[in-house]
Amino acid sequence: MNVFQAMTTFVAVVETGSMAAAAERCSMSSTMVGNYIRLLEERVGASLLRRTTRRQSLTPFGAVYFEKCRELIAMLEETDRMAQAAQTVPGGKLRVTAPVTYGTESLTPQLVDYLHQHPMVDVELVLTERSVDLTEEKFDAAIRLGLPAPSTLICRRLGDYRMTLCASPDYLARRGEPFTPMQLQAHDALSFPYPASSPMQWAGREWQLEGSKGKVVVDILRTRAVMNSTQALRKAVLAGMGVAMLPADLVREDLRAERLKVLLPDYRLPTRPVYLLYHKDRFSSPTLRSFINFMAGALGGIASQTR
């Protein structure tokens, strides 16, 4: 048995509150989490968790063992950081998280170039819309869209995340091309269900554009489809289902190939800032430092040029 992995899994179960959540954090199945806990209990010869159908809690010995495991894991991680900081050449593993579309369309192509330049570095990229906790979930860096909440993390701005209002040539041939914002009301809208907490939550009921005479707000009269995947929205727009506001990164190649057409090019859509977040004390690591500096240059250039 990998004792360190079993301890890490046990700590994840306690910190997240369930084996299912621990499985997600540790990137393994719930069955494997249960196996690690069982094998760890067999190793120490005592129960660590009390399990019922509704909840689980630490046994008295489990509480003491949990604190010791956390101390040991922290000590080993600090040792790893010291070893990385002593290196002159970037190497080892980086854990990075980013939003799904941005991570797929913008980050991954640059990640390929980064890894070519740094062959001793391995990267684990987790794409999720969830705002992960870098400390608890052991991430080295995170990319976030929008202004991050106040924290002790360093926030390095990469640029702006831009949206594009577009439709397929086939759809426009059938329905006509809008030449003023208000003409959009005659068209079928396709939208993404932003949560109420998102600064983009208005996008499900209206489109906001900025022209030479100021801001224009267009109420959506007919939402033909709502999809919680930008990839699905892109497919729907390509199929001629309607008009959508999509991430510019996602449709860049479609626009170049004229599979899609930008609508109202003289108007701008709202943007969101893109930030790279990391712990201040981790910047001494040549591996993380090389990643941050590379992405600041590469993604900053993309964000400023995207339209």
- Summarised one tens digit per residue, pLDDT across range 233-287 is 999 999 999 999 999 989 999 999 999 999 999 999 988 999 999 998 877 788 8
pLDDT of residue 202: 81
- pLDDT bucket at 305, cuts 50 / 70 / 90: very low
Query: In this structure, how many other beta carbons lie within 10 angstroms of the beta carbon of residue 268?
Result: 16
As a whole number of angstroms, the distance between CA 89 and CA 155 comes to: 24
With a cut of 50, say whether residue 188 has pLDDT above it: yes
**Structure-token pair, residue 294:** 């590379």
**Cβ proximity of 156 and 275 under 8 Å:** yes
Q: Please tell me what DSSP assigns to residue 268.
A: B
The partner residues of 124 in beta bridges, in order of sequence, read: 95
**Cβ proximity of 70 and 138 under 8 Å:** no
pLDDT of residue 87: 62
**Structure-token pair, residue 74:** 């922290």
**Cβ proximity of 203 and 192 under 8 Å:** yes
CA neighbor of 49 nearest in space, from 10, 98, 8: 10
pLDDT of residue 94: 93
Give the orientation angle of helix 60-86 with respect to helix 286-305, to 10 degrees.
Answer: 80
As a whole number of angstroms, the distance between CA 11 and CA 125 comes to: 22
As a whole number of angstroms, the distance between CA 88 and CA 75 comes to: 22
Of residues 3 and 187, more confidence is placed in 187
pTM score: 0.67
3-state secondary structure 183-207: HHHHCCEEECCCCCCCCCHHHHCEE
- What does the angle CA 137 – CA 143 – CA 144 come to, to the nearest 5 degrees? 100
Query: In this structure, how many other beta carbons lie within 10 angstroms of the beta carbon of residue 260?
Result: 24
With a cut of 50, say whether residue 304 has pLDDT above it: no
Phi, psi angles (nearest 5°) of residue 48:
-105, -30
**Structure-token pair, residue 92:** 């080892």
- pLDDT bucket at 151, cuts 50 / 70 / 90: confident
**Helices marked H in 130-247:** 169-175, 230-238
pLDDT in tens, 20-71: 889 988 888 989 999 999 999 999 999 999 877 667 889 999 999 999 999 9
Q: Please give the single-letter amino acid code of residue 6.
A: A
Instruction: Count helices and strands (H / E) in the chain.
Output: 10, 14
Is residue 215 within a helix (H) or strand (E), and if so which, with residue range? strand 214-219
The partner residues of 1 in beta bridges, in order of sequence, read: none
**Cβ proximity of 122 and 93 under 8 Å:** yes
